[in-house]
């Protein structure tokens, strides 16, 4: 795992980048093989927390190897990383490519969110009966 220093300012600036990505992600038509299935133990453990509604910010950054797109999550359990993104082992050639990859990730998360809401049955409301006895 690579550690990247993301400042509060990066997170704040990344909120507007995420807003733009939420709009631009609607343009992507996903192929069936495009998914975010985790491949590591940490990824599997984090999977329930990586959701469309849990995205806080999108930070695009560069190092000597290339560009990366990292999402900051709103809530994660203590001890879990609050960032996920493009692979540190596969830097991207440009900021545009990193942003495009981030938009695809948002599109996958949106699709996952929509499929969950379509397949999750509506919760039944419990019936409450209140009785009053007068003597």
Residue 127 class from Cβ within 10 Å (0-12 exposed, 13-18 middle, 19+ buried)?
Answer: exposed
How many domains are there within the chain?
A: 1
Domain interval for residue 107: 8-119
> In angstroms, how far is the first alpha carbon of the chain from the final one?
71
Please list the rounded mean pLDDT of every run of 10 residues in the chain (135 residues).
81 96 87 68 83 94 95 93 88 96 91 64 41 37
Residue 43 belongs to some domain of the structure: yes
In a domain? residue 127: no
Is the residue at 64 inside a domain?
A: yes
Measured CA to CA, the distance from residue 81 to residue 16 in angstroms comes to: 22
């Amino acid at each position: 795992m690579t550690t990247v220093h993301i400042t509060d300012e990066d997170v704040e600036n990344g909120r507007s980048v995420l807003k733009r990505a939420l709009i631009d992600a609607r343009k992507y038509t996903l192929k069936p093989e495009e998914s975010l299935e985790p491949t590591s133990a940490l990824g599997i453990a984090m999977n329930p927390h990586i959701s469309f509604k849990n995205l806080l910010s999108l930070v695009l950054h560069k190092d000597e190897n290339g560009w990366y797109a990292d999402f900051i999550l709103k809530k994660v359990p203590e001890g879990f990383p609050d960032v996920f993104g493009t692979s540190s082992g596969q830097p991207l050639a440009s900021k545009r490519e990193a942003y495009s990859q981030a938009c695809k990730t948002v599109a996958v998360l949106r699709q996952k969110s929509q499929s969950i809401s379509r397949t999750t049955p509506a919760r039944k409301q419990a019936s409450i009966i209140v009785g009053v006895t007068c003597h």
